[in-house]
Structure 1
Amino acid sequence: MSEQPAPTSGDEAEDDGKPTPTLLEQMGGISGLIYSSVPIVVFVLVNYIFDWQPALWAAVGVAVAIAVLRLVRREPLQPAISGLFGIAVAAFITIRTGSAKGFFAFGIWSSLVYCGAFLISALVRWPLAGVIWSTLNNTGFKWRSDKTARLYYDIATLVWILVFGSKFVVQQWLYDQNNVGLLGLARIAMGYPLTAIAIAVTVWAVRKADKRLAELNAGEQPPGGQPEHPPRPAQEEPAT
């Protein structure tokens, strides 16, 4: 009876012919970036013309319509679901505070939480940029044992700290000034553009860390799998 080939997994698994989606595609593509900004723009405009109550329901209605549109067009639903959740929380806070600026409170304080999480991870030598990437891609944490490789992820984590920290500082100041119009503008302008920069730095860090680990592995494993120092041939004993 012939042996059956062992099942493959990970990189050895059979290719299903589908290309791996890019980060932009996972975020919903260009259309997803545009869709995520529409409810915010609608809220700011309607609030400026009328009041926060009709602005809130207009934003919720637009978010629901976008989710239905993506469902009908069979586009990725994850960005739409995330958008609906964010709008729902923003609507709840707005109703509780009775103020238009409450629409942005959830995003502002979320930025502070993320900033704190990335900062703590860097201080305890578990930079979150590397931890998240390694977890999502199941590549392990060997990079933590090398200072140079870990430094690259420290840099990427620092960029995320600056991104979330700047979002909180700027938008919290506008929140205190009760400037809803500029709050909406800052939310959009400091959203995906800054996130794209942080993602680019993270990709750079991943490539540099992987290259560093590959160089270390190459040093440990000589070419051809031969030992670096082959055993010396035994010397023959002199004839007596």
Structure 2
Amino acid sequence: MKPTGPQEAATDMRTAQAPQVAQPTDHQKQPSALDRAGGTKGLVYSALPVAAFVVANSLRGLKVAIIASAAVALAIAVERLVRKESLQPALGGVFGVVIAAGISWYTGSAKDFFLIGIWASLAGAILFLLSVLVRWPLAAVLYSATTGKGTVWRSDKRSRLYYDIATLAMATIFGARFVVSKWLYDADEIGSLGVAKIMMGFPLLAVGLLVVAWAARASDKRLKALGLLPAKRA
């Protein structure tokens, strides 16, 4: 055995005394369904312009409601800018509120503030459903696009089934939004429309993303077992 000199011994001692940095586990790296939907802050940010519109409309009328909702959306964008957070969600929210408010202003009907969201929900339900029928489930397509894992999932029947289930769950969520919102729209229930938009927005989206996350994990696990995906390095 080669004798250890003073320099080597000192190096070994420093190495032994150096604090070990804990490696994050896969569980720690994975964001929750709520995080994927924008987190608690995203939930609040999406609800505030709608709540401002409904409250202001009931108290002061349509014009004040439009101004209030647009002002709240703009204030959220400014707040994110000051905090140096991503502006993309805020700008999307401002754009959506401005379009919805413009339609409501043009028609003179407060309930038309929710019109785009209603028909967008129907379009989303149809799109997710059609993607399953053409054997390209949208949950898998979007997941693959964001992770860069390609379309290897198409080579495994069970993986396609997982993603079909997740995509149908998303189609059901969008379909439920449309049915409930359209019924309230036809009944002129403006306050209930606002509540439905908030309650069936981020919370339901988080549930849908939870199903998508389950499908992705189940598919990746199976594909790795089949040797179609490389095993994650330790």
1:77 aligns with 2:84: no
Alignment partner, residue 96 of structure 1 = 106
2:204 is aligned to 194
Task: Give the distance between the partners of 2:107 and 2:182, measured in 1 at CA.
Answer: 16
**TM-score, structure 2 normalization:** 0.82
Partner deviation per Cα, 1:147-175 (whole Å, 9 max, x = no partner): 10100000000100000000000000000
- SS of equivalent to 1:217: coil
Matches of 2:143 and 2:210, distance apart in 1: 13
- 1:66 corresponds to which residue? 76
Give 1:119's aligned residue.
129
The answer (yes or no) to whether the contact 1:63–1:83 under 8 Å persists in 2 is yes
Superposition deviation, residue 26 in structure 1: 5.9
Q: Which has the higher contact order (CA 8 A, sep 6+)?
A: 2
Give 1:67-216 correspondences, 5 Å limit.
67-216=77-226
> More helix per residue: 1 or 2?
2
Deviation sequence 1:49-84 (CA, Å, 0-9, x none): 121111011110111111111101112212101111
| Partner AA of 1:97 in structure 2 | T
Note the 1:32-43 alignment, pairs <5 A. Answer: 32-43=42-53
Residue identity opposite 1:194 in structure 2: L
Asked if the contact 1:115/1:165 (under 8 Å) is kept, the reply is yes
Q: In the alignment, does 2:64 pair up with 1:49?
A: no
The AA in structure 2 aligned to 1:60 is: A
How many residues get paired? Answer: 202
TM-score (normalizing by structure 1): 0.80
Amino acid at match of 1:211: K
Partner of 1:229: none
Cα displacement (A) at 1:32: 2.3
Matched-pair identity in % = 50
Amino acid at match of 1:137: T
Q: Is 2:37–2:209's contact at 8 Å kept on the other side of the alignment?
A: no
Amino acid at match of 1:155: I
CA shift for structure 1 position 184: 0.2
Q: Deviations over 1:183-240 (max 9, x none)?
A: 000000101111111000000000100111111118x99xxxxxxxxxxxxxxxxxxx
Could you tell me how far 1:29 is from its partner in structure 2?
3.1
8 A Cα contact 1:27 1:79, kept in partner: no
Q: Is 1:47–1:100's contact at 8 Å kept on the other side of the alignment? A: yes
Separation of aligned partners in 2, 1:103 and 1:134:
34
Is 2:50–2:69's contact at 8 Å kept on the other side of the alignment?
yes
The two structures, once aligned, show a CA RMSD in angstroms of 2.0
Moved more, 147-156 or 87-96: 87-96
Larger gyration radius, structure 1 or structure 2: 1
**Runs of 4 or more consecutive aligned structure 1 residues displaced over 4 Å after TM superposition:** 23-28
In 1, are the aligned partners of 2:49 and 2:69 still within 8 Å (CA)?
Answer: yes
Q: Which runs of 5+ in 1 are unaligned?
A: 1-18, 222-240
